[in-house]
Chain A
């Protein structure tokens, strides 16, 4: 299975207009998908059926709400695929732990560091910080901040 197969499968799930090809030489990524939170389980299932593994889940905090980033890759050919989900503050995401076991810890980490909640996660505890911590350190409002920008400012102005 390749990037093309996954692309075809994903175009049935999300709007074809939100599936973009990326410049691998520049960004290290072949495909980027802008998704709605509700579409994530279906995207994860499509990626799993195409033979992809979950590389990581993370988030980036922006002035207009965090963006969750899911990255899938495959062992045989270069076919790294990124899924980005723009969230409003306090908006939660569906867990994909039932599709990828690896997601369980990544989701705990994102919850721990960004405070994003995952619905239907079986065990959403803090992962890296002490269990009694009352802050989410990777939010830009925590600690020393160099810059706080909007997602559009960074992701849309790219040359690629």
Chain B
């Protein structure tokens, strides 16, 4: 990677607005960049264009009424946000979902995680200038959207989980389609590896670019593939298993030096681990009901609660303060991209503009999740 130490302003210094309407910013993110020729000297990420006030909305809605808001925070891993919120409120109110519902949630959540990673893969390689992988990735992702569409009724903003279960049971067609998909995606690894992982242009563009090491990642509170790429095996599914993740056998892929290539590898290997979880869950899927009777209005006991879950981008957390009524007194969402995006202020200065796009893509941000 070509880098240069930022120097004081000269006649070559100028400011560039990257975004908010730019295809490589993945949502409405504006990067206010100070450039010296082709080199970045300073960067100021400006967020908030998609601020909808979800946390304020929660305070005047019943716990159930907030359910459709959750997948809209992160439109690429909506099922994971939905699952985490439901699991959080169930824990607060002492509701226990039947085992079959928990397994279905895990299957759908992992499918969504794979879909999110595939979307990232396609979009990232498109950012780097390779158009072909985009079609491969979207072709695979389309299968997942069809599967999840069948059970949840939506293609992106899945509002599928309910307190005490899921909205509707899965059928044999769902199970068969999921098994077919697992087989299909396993057959694709060879293609992805030949097309991308071993591609010399890709390696040159990403090796040693945008290095986020362990120290930097922890200072900024990074989680997910960004932290795991730096070699820290922290995954909430292992660290504090929720739902039925404790019963599943899977590994946490990690990188070595935390560059863009490591983050790519971590996500690629994570998809295989998600497939393993899906297979195990399908094999052990118990019979029985998918819902349990719950009160019409959930009123968790007074107090404050924190619930953590792992989304495709890292550790998600719901901090909920309950006053014993049917509305949350305060609901704070700790989102993973928040910390990951902030690292840009430290890793971008000194790099080329072309690498800015590469680094921004490699940390996999979803801006509406940061804006909330």
Contact = CB atoms under 8 A, between A and B. Distances in A.
B219 to A, nearest CB: 5
A158 to B, nearest CB: 4
Nearest to B48: A128
Contact of A29 (B51, B221, B306, B323): B306
Interface stretch (B114-122, B144-152, B288-296, B338-346): B338-346
A19 interface: no
B299 to A, nearest CB: 12
A27 B306 contact: yes
Interface in A96-135: 100-102, 104-105, 113, 126-130
A145 interface: yes
A78 B240 CA distance: 7
A90 interface: no
At the interface, is chain A mostly helix, strand, loop or mixed?
loop
Interface in B40-77: 47-48, 51, 53, 55-56, 59-60
B342 A159 contact: no
Interface stretch (B17-25, B197-205, B327-335): B327-335
Given A69-B319, A78-B240, A54 B51 contact: no
Contacts of B303: 26-27, 154-155, 157-160
Interface in A41-65: 51, 53-56, 58, 60-61
A138 B55 contact: yes
Interface in B127-154: none
A8 interface: no
A60 B321 contact: yes
Given A71-B319, A138-B55, A160-B303, A128 B371 contact: yes
A88 interface: no
Contacts of A80: 306, 308
Contacts of A137: 53, 56
A100 B221 contact: yes
At the interface, is chain B mostly helix, strand, loop or mixed?
mixed
Contact of B319 (A58, A113, A127, A157): A58
Contact of B327 (A51, A54, A146, A160): A146
A16 interface: no
A128 B51 CA distance: 6
A28 B371 CA distance: 25
Nearest to A99: B219
Interface in B213-234: 218-221, 227, 232-234
Nearest to B218: A53
A12 interface: no
Contacts of B302: 153-154, 157-158
A142 B57 CA distance: 12
B304 interface: yes
Contacts of A27: 303-306
A154 B329 contact: yes
A89 interface: no
Given A100-B221, A101-B342, A146 B59 contact: yes
B329 A60 contact: yes
B81 interface: no
B239 interface: yes
Which of A28, A80, A147 gathers most chain B CB within 10 Å?
A28
B317 A56 contact: yes
Given A56-B334, A146-B59, A129 B234 contact: no
A158 B339 CA distance: 31
B321 A154 contact: yes
B301 interface: yes
A100 B53 CA distance: 26
A149 interface: yes
A154 B323 contact: yes
Given A27-B304, A158-B301, 19 more contacts: A27-B306, A28-B91, A28-B307, A55-B334, A58-B319, A60-B304, A69-B319, A71-B306, A101-B219, A101-B342, A101-B346, A102-B221, A102-B339, A105-B338, A145-B59, A146-B325, A146-B327, A147-B325, A159-B303
4 pairs of A and B residues whose beta carbons are closest in the complex: A102-B221, A28-B306, A158-B303, A128-B48
24 contacts: A26-B303, A27-B306, A28-B306, A28-B307, A29-B306, A53-B221, A54-B221, A56-B317, A58-B319, A71-B319, A75-B233, A78-B239, A78-B240, A102-B339, A105-B342, A113-B55, A137-B53, A146-B325, A147-B327, A154-B321, A155-B303, A157-B302, A159-B301, A160-B303
Interface of A: 26-29, 51, 53-56, 58, 60-61, 69, 71, 75, 78, 80, 82, 100-102, 104-105, 113, 126-130, 137-138, 142-147, 149, 153-155, 157-160
